[in-house]
Structure 1
């Protein structure tokens, strides 16, 4: 079914926002190498500085969702885009590692707003929600791939200060585009989604709405998303380093002039590109398949794929590349399902809060697998690492199956009207 004009307008606006969040996010590690030499600091200190920037990205999702419910999703997304662009302009003027820290913290605070606000806007304003979730995810993957590529390419020709300023330009253009975008943010729901004057920001309102959410099936969805975050962050954090250490990578020739690129990086970027197809297929399927059933099925595939890395890492280049491609497809195919699950199991007037909790679990609690993975890889075998990662997907599969088996019936009577219409 073709998107109507309101759906198209929201899709364009949120796709730009999603792409730019990850555009900025993934360019930071490229700049990290430059800052290490520029300011003559230890990797430990620089790691703390960068962590200070990434931490608000997950922690700020919950307050970002609260603000989206109170002040409106479009206004918050525009604030996010302007804030991220301003943060990179601050970085372009930095003359010390402390100024870098300020710029990164500002970026993390601004970026944390996007996911709860953007997904809440799609869930309440879009009729063809699955299709827009698909294109929204594709845009995010495009930002993930283009951010480091553009940053690294510009650094060949320009000083890093100018590069950070140039990276801010698309964000500024997106703000101008967003200011002119016209759409109805609640066109897909019948409920009154306007919060009271102070309710969305009051402590009592937060506690009341949170209790209502976690007394429903959303509590299970939140835990499912957290396990997905543990799987996602653990695999994507350590897979590049794992691939770099494989003997099979020696068989991948690097074209002349690109000798500085690690061969394994080709496979990793390819994984992200294949993920765009996974986002699209997953999003389209959410229009036809119950989100809990979809999550259970894909989690099952992710369990198998994580365990498959144990034997395949000892095989040839073709086997490794093929597994990474399949892995990339399903890793990103599950995202539209849990995004839609939040919309299905929550009332429209608390979508910002719902997605705030969702991305607190995804980016905040999910980042614990970085520490877990480092501990396992430092003291145990590579096989043990993949078994631990597979256990996260197994837990997600079990909880999703439980949602299908019993909790669907438990919450059906209280499920929002717009959610029931999607079943």
Structure 2
């Protein structure tokens, strides 16, 4: 079944927003390599500088979800796009005061603006789109396009330009997308039967917020929230430090890129390749949510990610080709898992609190998940590389165990319901 006009309009708008959130997000680790040299700070210090901005990216999602339920998602997404672009202009300007703390301030502003997107964008898809699985898949692919293009463009431009000019150039597409979004026209509640008003200006009281939150966490969503948090710990730790880890691998030292290509860092493009493969993972995961229960997909992919993290160090020591293959597989499954937890939220939450639900979801994913930045910086600075990947594997194993528990609980509840109705 093809997408109807409303579905296509929402898909286009949210795909633009999703791609740009991650365009900015994944360009930051490329700048991390430059900032380490530019400001003469340790990896631990820079990790502590980056962690609050990525943390705000997640923790800001909760109030953003509340605002999405009250004012409607379109307004918030437009503010997100303009705010992220303005933040990168400020980051570019921070070069002229030569302070890592000025960079930190700009990153905090980016984190605040970026935090708005996921609860607003996913709430819009879940309440406005009929073909939800298909749009989740395309939405995920758009995110991965941004995830891949952000570091690719940043790494390529850094060959020719100073980092501050690169940061300013990266801001331009966000402003263009905000202008495009102003003319987007769609029904944000076309896919729900209930009379859900996604743009109500009625004030949300503290009692309403607490009541809705208690309802959510008294359901299976409580387990989904913890599952997402451990996925976020794995995701954020992997993507933040992988460029720097790749730069430091012995296998990268022997790569001869040829005359005329000086300045190109092969490690950066391996990282980009991993993110490109993630597009296929997003699409596959999105389509499979229509065929398999979300909790079943989660437990399988978490188990695979745990294994991939454990074998990273031994495989990377074999040679370049095994490393490339491993990075491709990691990229596929790192992003294939995301449509499954997004679908789990849609399945286990009511439509009229969907913004709040995704707010909590991305508080776990990007807020609590950002703790792996500080933890990863400490582990990488104090221990051998294998301990960093053992930490990531532990996060994935806990996620797998929780997913198995959710699967068992849901199966038991369905069996009990069937017996009672017999």
TM-score normalised per structure 1: 0.88
Q: SS where residue 187 of structure 2 aligns?
A: coil
Please state how far the C-alpha of 1:12 moved relative to its aligned partner: 0.8
Residue in structure 2 matched with residue 319 of structure 1 by the alignment: 322
Q: 1:125 aligns with which of 123, 128, 131?
A: 128
Aligned counterparts of 2:165 and 2:322: Cα–Cα separation in 1 = 41
Please state how far the C-alpha of 1:187 moved relative to its aligned partner: 1.2
Aligned counterparts of 1:14 and 1:302: Cα–Cα separation in 2 = 28
Aligned counterparts of 1:330 and 1:365: Cα–Cα separation in 2 = 21
Instruction: Mark the CA change 1:16 to 1:211 in structure 2 (over 3 Å): closer, same or farther.
Output: same
Please state how far the C-alpha of 1:251 moved relative to its aligned partner: 4.2
In the TM superposition, 1:335-350 aligns within 5 A as: 335-350=338-353
Please state how far the C-alpha of 1:224 moved relative to its aligned partner: 0.5
The count of residues paired between Structure 1 and Structure 2 equals: 412
Instruction: Mark the CA change 1:213 to 1:255 in structure 2 (over 3 Å): closer, same or farther.
Output: farther
1:177 and 2:187 aligned: no
Q: 1:144 aligns with which of 144, 147, 168?
A: 147
Q: SS where residue 292 of structure 2 aligns?
A: coil
Residue in structure 2 matched with residue 418 of structure 1 by the alignment: none
Alignment RMSD (CA, Å): 2.8
TM-score normalised per structure 2: 0.88
Residue in structure 2 matched with residue 59 of structure 1 by the alignment: 59
1:269 and 2:240 aligned: no
Please state how far the C-alpha of 1:182 moved relative to its aligned partner: 1.1
Residue in structure 1 matched with residue 364 of structure 2 by the alignment: 361
Please state how far the C-alpha of 1:367 moved relative to its aligned partner: 1.7
Residue in structure 1 matched with residue 71 of structure 2 by the alignment: 71
Aligned counterparts of 2:401 and 2:413: Cα–Cα separation in 1 = 17
Aligned counterparts of 1:261 and 1:204: Cα–Cα separation in 2 = 56
Stretches of structure 2 lacking an aligned partner (at least 5 in a row): 418-422
In the TM superposition, 1:134-283 aligns within 5 A as: 134-157=137-160, 162-194=165-197, 197-200=201-204, 202-283=205-286
Please state how far the C-alpha of 1:276 moved relative to its aligned partner: 0.7
Stretches of structure 1 lacking an aligned partner (at least 5 in a row): 415-423
Q: SS where residue 184 of structure 1 aligns?
A: coil
Alignment check: 8 A CA contact 2:51 2:373 kept = no
Residue in structure 2 matched with residue 419 of structure 1 by the alignment: none
- Tell me the alpha carbon deviations over residues 298-354 of structure 1, each in whole angstroms, 9 at most, x when there is no partner: 112112222222431331222221121111111110001001111111011111111
Tell me which moved more, 364-373 or 213-222. 364-373
Alignment check: 8 A CA contact 1:129 1:287 kept = no
Aligned counterparts of 1:20 and 1:161: Cα–Cα separation in 2 = 19
Residue in structure 1 matched with residue 84 of structure 2 by the alignment: 84
Instruction: Mark the CA change 1:4 to 1:35 in structure 2 (over 3 Å): closer, same or farther.
Output: same
Please state how far the C-alpha of 1:205 moved relative to its aligned partner: 1.2
Q: 2:390 aligns with which of 352, 371, 387?
A: 387
1:300 and 2:306 aligned: no
- Tell me the alpha carbon deviations over residues 122-180 of structure 1, each in whole angstroms, 9 at most, x when there is no partner: 11111111211111111112112222332344455556555444322211211121111
Residue in structure 2 matched with residue 421 of structure 1 by the alignment: none
Aligned counterparts of 2:3 and 2:352: Cα–Cα separation in 1 = 24
Alignment check: 8 A CA contact 2:141 2:283 kept = yes
Alignment check: 8 A CA contact 2:119 2:356 kept = yes
Aligned counterparts of 2:103 and 2:93: Cα–Cα separation in 1 = 9
